[in-house]
Amino acid sequence: MTIEYNPDDFKSTEIGPGYKSLLEVSDLSVSFVQYQKGLRQRVLKVISNLDISLGSGEILAVVGSSGSGKSLLAHAILGILPNNAICSGKILYKNELLTPERQKKIRGSEITLVPQSVNFLDPLMRVSAQVRTAVRQGNPEEAQKKIFRRYDLSEGVGNQYPFQLSGGMARRVLISAAVINGSKLIIADEPTPGLHPEIVTETLNHLRELTDEGCGVMLITHDISTALQVADKIAVFYAGTTIEITPAADFHGQGQALRHPYTKALWQSLPQNDFTPIPGFQPLPANFSEGCLFAPRCGKITSECTGSLPVMQDLRSGKVRCHHAT
Amino acid sequence: MQLEAKNIGFRYHQNPWLFRNFSLTLNSGEILGLKGQSGCGKTTLARILAGYEKTLEGRIELGGAPLPKVGYRAVQLVFQHPEKSVNPRWHMRDILQEGWQPDDELLARFGIQQDWLSRWPNELSGGELQRFCVVRALSPETKFLIADEMTAMLDAITQAQIWQAILELAKERDLGILVVSHEKELVKRVCDRVIELDSVHLERNSFIS
Amino acid sequence: MNQLNHALSLEEKPRKIIRFNRRQSTLITILSGLALLTAIIAASFLMSDEAIKTHFEARNLSPSWQHFFGTDWLGRDMFTRTVKGLSLSIGIGLLASTVSVIVALILGMAAATLGKTVDTLISWLVDVFMGLPHLVALILIAFALGSGAKGVIIGVACTHWPNLTRIIRAEVLQLRTSQFVQVSRHMGKSRIWIAVQHLLPHLLPQFFVGLVLLFPHAILHEASITFLGFGLSPHQPAIGVILSESMNYLSVGMWWLAFFPGLSLLVVVRVFDMVGDNLRLMFDPHSAHE
């Protein structure tokens, strides 16, 4: 991965705890080199000009439909994109550039991932032993026992294999494995897929607890109701970029406080609201155009919209990428 | 016509019963919600009703007769993860037309673009794939549709698009639909009636302790 | 990623005119491998048998421009013998590995689809053959059928299927429980239709890669049992025969008798291995786009 940067842009201005900004992603683009029919290759841009920031003690929910590039953002931060990916832009962690070397060093300790399901665990290893293998410093057994006590996991659970865990237990094991090294930045990629509401709430509360201890949590989900349960800020993804960053509190009523037409449409299509969808679909990366990618589905489209991708602008304590934002 | 479960019971191997003496009637034109704790056997029940799994006790009847074992099935199931229910080595057109030949009007109602037909599954997103899976299951021969967390992995707009199209079609064709979901807002919105799968002996890991 | 950016930045430098992407270079490797093998077979047909007849006037010559690989104690040209031997080996290898792969495909699919009894029986057979040392089983079969090409081919074919059978059986078992296969049943499709339309496309990569990777095994085993005297008759220009005969002359300093044929065999085996590995890379979805 090459990250082009000017060293003057991000000299450490703050040192010590209480980073205002734990993670800052600016102008991130991710492309893939792919084979078309036969031997020709093409470069497919899947994430473009993406900006987000996350402070410690904060939960940022990244909300978008499948194919909007939200998981790729997580992979880019962790440095686990496949080999045919090309990255540009910059990712700052604790105000310092996150280079591939640094990513390798601190992922699993300072930055960690809470995966989607127990399928990410070794199916043939008891969970307590498995959690121990994640420990980087100190006595693994003690660390594992301590974290299991914290998440109310009995020794009996520790002796089980991943497939034996119930939905709620599995969530707790996955979180305990992720935070056992005292990580500061926790990326949860769809941590509650198709789970019962009570388990979802329990898992989200665990994430909230972690931010109370000073961690920053990035919650990646397609489900806006889940995000609203717990997030402070919500970044809405559409077709590979952020179109709006808003305080979670702005999702209320008819969505009048929201800025981007897509966010409003998303809010209104929820079953508890209008349940009336806007027509159309998110474009595929191969069909990305120059202008605003939401334009074909937007009621406010003008010639301005098709020309170039609107820039992110500040609006009412949030940000939006739209010429007609109100 | 009715899809009926009569005193059915099921368990995996020697594990505790997921449910026993469970009965349910789904009428044509009816949209029925099914709720229950996670791990209580909702998915298994959905599979049994659609004939993907054999019930160990009791029986399933479609219009008074056992479920047919050959031919295009009148009870179709749409799964939670569309990427698992399509063959990754098939083109979308072949996937769509595996059971019947949907016309362009139906494709348009479900927002399926013509140029998606020549693509591979891995080139489409989950929301787009699920539209194909739904249309594939909605031939004129389909009498009942079982939607097992059908839109749980999709964004709100796609979810609303798919459900609005299905509800409209259900009215036209007098389809019976079973909505298996833990999303109470969705169930409340689309269903005429809701039943809860009893959860007494259903804690999945009780057998371990 | 580093590699890729490196490659992409090279594109801008005019000095480097030809740059292949991974898929192109893979394809080139595969094609040149196949070209070499075809060339060997073609050459063996074009070369006359004159050179491998006895020429007492040209005995025990060391390698020269006239005789690339030297001549043996009967004055036979070793280059011609090697090429003809290799071509015979390739032929036997191709036949034996094709038979093995087809057997594996049929048994693997049968084990996974025809019920428990068939599965137990086939799994037992696989275990038996895998438990027996390869070469011992081979010698037994070749010996029982009488030496010669027939024994070798049947022997090699009968001993190389178990590994692939196991892989294909596991693959089919997994595919059978996959949702899209279950959906297909509910679309009213028959078992045979599903086997052909859904299962086979997933097995074809295994099939081709298995075919190519079995090849070197088959060739080496053919050469081994011939070397040990259970295989082809001494009159045939087989690599195993050449190597075993040359043993008697190594001590008198005629190194070329074993060196060049042995090296050629190594090269051919290596080429097959390379073709197989490259095919696997191309079929594997995880590396297909790199």
pLDDT, one tens digit per residue, over A284-316 is: 888 888 888 898 888 888 888 888 888 888 888
**pLDDT score recorded for residue B131:** 95
- Proportion of chain A above pLDDT 70, given as a percent: 93
Q: Which residue has better confidence, B40 or C132?
A: C132
Both tokens of B114, joined, read 């013509």
Beta bridge partners of A24: A53, A92
**pLDDT score recorded for residue B209:** 28
pTM: 0.80
DSSP A128-142: HHHHHHT--SS-HHH
Q: Do A66 and B155 touch (CB under 8 A)?
A: yes
ipTM over cut 0.90:
no
C-alpha atoms less than 13 angstroms from C-alpha of A321 in its C-beta half-sphere: 27
Cα–Cα distance measured from residue A269 to residue B157, given in angstroms and rounded to the nearest whole number: 5
Q: How far is A280 from chain B (nearest CA, A)?
A: 7
Q: Do A2 and C5 touch (CB under 8 A)?
A: yes
pLDDT higher than threshold 70 for residue A150 = yes
pLDDT higher than threshold 80 for residue A205 = yes
pLDDT higher than threshold 90 for residue B140 = yes
Q: Which residue has better confidence, C52 or C91?
A: C91
From A76, A17, A105, A32, select the one nearest A220 (Cα to Cα). A76
Q: Given CB atoms, is A2 within the 8 Å cutoff of chain C?
A: yes
Question: Which subunits have 3 or more CB–CB pairs within 8 Å of chain A?
Answer: B, C
Q: Do C186 and B72 touch (CB under 8 A)?
A: yes
Q: How far is A11 from chain C (nearest CA, A)?
A: 25
From B50, B52, B55, B10, select the one nearest B26 (Cα to Cα). B50
DSSP B10-42: E-STTSPPSEEEEEEEEETT-EEEEE--TTSSH
Give the CATH number, domain containing residue B151. 3.40.50.300
Question: Which subunits have 3 or more CB–CB pairs within 8 Å of chain C?
Answer: A, B
Q: Do C3 and A83 touch (CB under 8 A)?
A: yes
Write down all domains in chain C, each with its CATH number in brackets: 85-274 (1.10.3720.10)
Q: Which residue has better confidence, C15 or C222?
A: C222
Nearest CA in chain C to A32: C289
Mean pLDDT of A74-88: 88
Which range among A108-112, B178-182, B196-200, C174-178 shows the weakest confidence by mean pLDDT?
A: B196-200
Of B39, B154, B182, the CB nearest to A197: B182
Q: Do A41 and C2 touch (CB under 8 A)?
A: no
Cα–Cα distance measured from residue B133 to residue C43, given in angstroms and rounded to the nearest whole number: 56
Q: Which residue has better confidence, A154 or C6?
A: A154
Q: Do A86 and C27 touch (CB under 8 A)?
A: no
Which range among A135-139, A142-146, C64-68 shows the weakest confidence by mean pLDDT?
A: C64-68
From A238, A232, A318, A225, select the one nearest A64 (Cα to Cα). A238
pLDDT higher than threshold 50 for residue C3 = no
Whether A283 contacts B111, CB under 8 Å: no
From C236, C266, C261, select the one nearest C83 (Cα to Cα). C261
How many whole angstroms from its chain centre is CA A115?
Answer: 11
**pLDDT score recorded for residue C14:** 39
Q: How far is B18 from chain A (nearest CA, A)?
A: 14
Beta bridge partners of A25: A52, A91
Mean pLDDT of C113-139: 86
Residue B70 pLDDT class (50, 70, 90 cuts): confident
Which residues in C lie closer than 8 A to residue B134 (C-beta atoms)?
Answer: none
Q: Do A35 and C5 touch (CB under 8 A)?
A: no
Q: Do B51 and C186 touch (CB under 8 A)?
A: yes
Q: Given CB atoms, is A194 within the 8 Å cutoff of chain C?
A: no
Residue B8 carries which DSSP code?
E
Mean pLDDT of C74-90: 85
Q: How many CB pairs under 8 A join A and C?
A: 37
Beta bridge partners of A63: A221, A236
pLDDT higher than threshold 80 for residue C18 = no
Give the number of domains in chain B.
1
In the stretch 13-72 of chain C, residues with CB closer than 8 A to chain A read 21, 23-24, 27
Query: What is the number of other CB atoms lying within 10 angstroms of the CB of residue B40?
Result: 22
Whether C226 contacts C239, CB under 8 Å: yes
Q: Do B87 and C198 touch (CB under 8 A)?
A: yes
Cα–Cα distance measured from residue A92 to residue A96, given in angstroms and rounded to the nearest whole number: 5
CA–CA distances in Å: residue B107 to residues B116, B131, B168, B169, C262: 11, 9, 14, 12, 64
pLDDT higher than threshold 60 for residue A19 = no
**pLDDT score recorded for residue C13:** 37
Residue range A7-110+183-320, CATH number: 3.40.50.300
Q: Do C201 and B87 touch (CB under 8 A)?
A: yes
Both tokens of C4, joined, read 């890729």
Of C180, C189, C202, the CB nearest to B86: C180
Which residues in B lie closer than 8 A to residue A67 (C-beta atoms)?
Answer: 124-128
Mean pLDDT of B130-141: 95
Radius of gyration of chain A (CA): 20
- Give me the phi and psi of C59, to 5 degrees please: -85, 150
- For chain A, the structural domain boundaries read 7-110+183-320
Range of the domain at B187: 2-207
Which residues in C lie closer than 8 A to residue A31 (C-beta atoms)?
Answer: none
Mean pLDDT of C220-238: 80
CA–CA distances in Å: residue C43 to residues C48, C85, C240: 10, 11, 19
Mean pLDDT of A102-120: 86
Whether A166 contacts B204, CB under 8 Å: yes
Interval A260-290: pLDDT, tens: 999 999 999 999 998 989 988 888 888 888 8
Residue C31 pLDDT class (50, 70, 90 cuts): confident
**pLDDT score recorded for residue A178:** 87
**pLDDT score recorded for residue C8:** 37
